[in-house]
């Protein structure tokens, strides 16, 4: 099967796009106070750890898929031994982003920017590893 446009759209684009789209819809259609409207910014979804949860889901999917493939192809140990530690680090980073975003959301621009950058880096790395696993196992 390999990587297809459909796979990328459904598995990589959709999970990242759904939270900002829903936040935008809520902001447009709900009667919100000015404080609530301020909290419905796109950056707020990143700041509160949404990309961390996406990273966790992608990491779990990659590990499951690699392990499942390993059970049927015994010569796949080297690849899984590389994916395992990479995904372990990404799960840890995604977990810190998710929990940290939930507990320590800040309105300071410098903290928002730093948090957004690390969220994006972690999500991109996790999505890349999952795409590599998908490509190697199908």
Q: Note the pLDDT tens digit of each residue in 59-100.
A: 888 888 877 777 777 766 777 777 778 888 888 787 777 666
| Structural domain of 103 | 5-137
How many domains does the structure of the chain reveal?
1
What average pLDDT does the structure give for the chain? 75
Q: Quick one: three-class SS letters along the chain?
A: CCCCHHHHHHHHHHHHHHHHHHHHHHHHHCCCCHHHHHCCCHHHHHHCCHHHHHHHHHHHHHHHHHHHHHHHCHHHHHHHHHHHHHHHHHHHHHHHHHHHHHHCCCCCHHHHHHHHHHHHHHHHHHHHHHHHHHHHHC
pLDDT score at 7 = 78
pLDDT score at 107 = 64
């Amino acid at each position: 099967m390999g990587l297809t446009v459909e796979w990328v759209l459904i598995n990589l684009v959709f999970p990242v796009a759904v939270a900002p789209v829903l936040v935008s819809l809520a902001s447009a259609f709900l009667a919100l106070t000015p404080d609530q409207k301020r909290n419905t910014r796109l950056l707020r979804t990143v700041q509160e750890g949404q990309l961390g949860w996406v990273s966790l889901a992608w990491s779990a999917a990659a590990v499951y898929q690699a392990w499942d493939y390993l059970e049927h192809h015994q010569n796949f140990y080297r690849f899984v031994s590389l994916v395992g530690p990479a995904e372990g680090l990404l799960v840890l980073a995604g977990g810190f982003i998710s929990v940290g975003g939930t507990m320590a959301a800040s309105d300071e621009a410098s903290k928002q920017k730093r948090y957004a950058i690390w969220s994006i880096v972690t999500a991109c790395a996790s999505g890349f590893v999952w795409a590599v696993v998908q490509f190697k196992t199908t």
